[in-house]
Amino acid sequence: MNHFLDIHKTDPAELRKIIDQASATKQARLGRPKAALDDELPLKDRMVALIFEKPSTRTRVSFDVGVRQMGGQTMVLSGKDMQLGHGETIADTARVLSRYVDMIMIRTFDETVLTEMAEYADVPVINGLTDRTHPCQIMADVLTYEEHRGPIKGKKVVWTGDGNNVCASFLHAAGQFGFDMTFTGPAQLDPEEEFMGFARSKGSTIQVERDPFKAVEGADLIVADTWVSMHDSQSSKERRHNMLRPYQVNDHLMSHAKDDALFMHCLPAHREEEVTSAVMDGPQSVIFDEAENRLHAQKAIMRWCLGA
Ligand code: CP
């Protein structure tokens, strides 16, 4: 049994196996109806709890569809409707759920909820996003990059804007998959040193460059994310927008990267804020492939967790 809690906590060889499995099962399903079962049914007779303490479109739907395609069943639970939201401990919740379900995916605020769930559960636990990281998203992003451009090892990724939880998992991936990353954004929103330090400790070149045009020189991939994340206060919105406006990804900024640079965004996006529609809908954008690949990457993660 494996938990999938974070990219830096998973062995690089295992991460590579997950990406390869995702790619193979995606290919095997090409052209099939969405609800058609896979050839193999590794989750047959398995029940998966999907717990959401924050809103979600992609994570919720892609996990639900993925479990069903692999022959399993899901139970989608809202944290606030469970006793979890009314004082029952995480440890007790983990022990109880382990008697009913074969795997738990949780999206929560504080990462200690995730780690405590994993500590006390007898079944695999998957991180569906915390305030600090979003590993499933970045596994889908690595898969997406490699589908379009081949191995990500040695490439230059530029993160624009807020050094948030998605950026943190990208930095973990830089270390584990062997690519370089440049962060460009205001100093107040730099990624935590811990995340950059991890990638550097694995040999990746991690840079911080305040000038977005200098940052994207030689970039193979440019990534943007929303300027106000789910865990940020709405009262900070105007201040954050003012700080982040120079880092908008638009055609002018894209033109300073490599000609074949890709653009990614984990979505949901705020069009004309962190990125223009011209870039989102343009030829370098792979945002909807990223969204689709959540499904394929997470199916492979679930199989890895269960050894199935
Ligand atoms: N990218 C992502 O995690 O999307 P949702 O918040 O809709 O799940």
What is the per-residue pLDDT across 3-23, written as a single tens digit (0 to 9) for each?
Answer: 999 999 999 999 999 999 999
Distance CA 59, CA 73 (A): 16
User: Averaged over 65-93, what is the pLDDT?
Assistant: 92
Q: Is 225 a catalytic residue?
A: yes
pLDDT at 181 over 80: yes
User: Over the stretch 257-285, which tens digit does the pLDDT of each residue have?
Assistant: 999 999 999 999 999 999 999 999 999 99
- Residue 52 Cα to ligand 1 middle (Å): 11
Average pLDDT over residues 221-239: 86
Pocket test for ligand 1, best of 294, 295, 298, 301 (most atoms within 8 A of CB): 294
Question: Atom of ligand 1 at shortest distance to CA of 230?
Answer: 6
The reply to whether 134 belongs to the active site is: yes
- What was the pLDDT predicted at 158? 99
Select from 302, 308, 293, 305 the least CA-distant residue to 26: 293
Output the pLDDT for position 87: 85
Per-residue confidence band for 83, with pLDDT thresholds at 50, 70 and 90 = confident
Q: Would you say the CB of residue 293 lies under 6 angstroms from ligand 1?
A: no
Q: Would you say residue 2 has pLDDT above 90?
A: yes
Residue 268: asked if its preceding bond is cis (omega within 30°), the reply is yes
Residue 56 Cβ < 6 Å to ligand 1 = yes
Rounded average pLDDT over 207-221:
98
What pLDDT shows up at residue 208?
Answer: 98
Angle CA 293–295–299, to nearest 5 = 115
The tokens describing 89, both together, are 């401990």
137 is catalytic: yes
Query: In the beta sheet, which residues pair with residue 181?
Result: 157, 206
Active site residue 266: yes
- Give the amino acid at 69: Q
Amino acid identity of 77? Answer: L
pLDDT tens digits, one per residue of 19-40 = 999 999 999 999 999 999 999 9
State if residue 58 touches ligand 1 by the CB under 6 angstroms criterion: yes
- Burial of residue 153 (number of CB atoms within 10 Å: 0-12, 13-18, 19+): exposed
Q: Are 153 and 19 in contact (CB under 8 A)?
A: no
Active-site choice (3, 131, 167, 266): 266
Please tell me if the CB atom of residue 89 comes closer than 6 angstroms to any atom of ligand 1: no
- Would the CB of 267 count as within 6 Å of ligand 1? yes
Size of the chain in residues: 308
Contact yes or no for 110/57 (Cβ under 8 A): no
The beta-strand segments (E) located in 27-102 are 47-52, 73-78
Q: Which of 123, 143, 142, 137 is nearest to 165 (CA)?
A: 137
280: tokens are 């989102």
CB atoms within 10 A of CB 109: 16
| Burial class of residue 21 in the structure, from the number of CB atoms within 10 Å of its CB (0-12 exposed, 13-18 middle, 19+ buried) | middle
Q: What is the pLDDT of residues 96-112, one digit of tens each?
A: 999 999 999 999 999 99
Given a contact cutoff of 8 angstroms between Cβ atoms, the answer to whether 221 and 156 are in contact is yes
pLDDT on residue 236: 82
Residues 6+ apart with CB under 8 A from 278: 250, 251
129 CA: nearest ligand 1 atom = 3
- Mean pLDDT, the chain, as a whole number? 96
Told to judge if 3 belongs to the known catalytic residues of this protein, a careful annotator would answer no
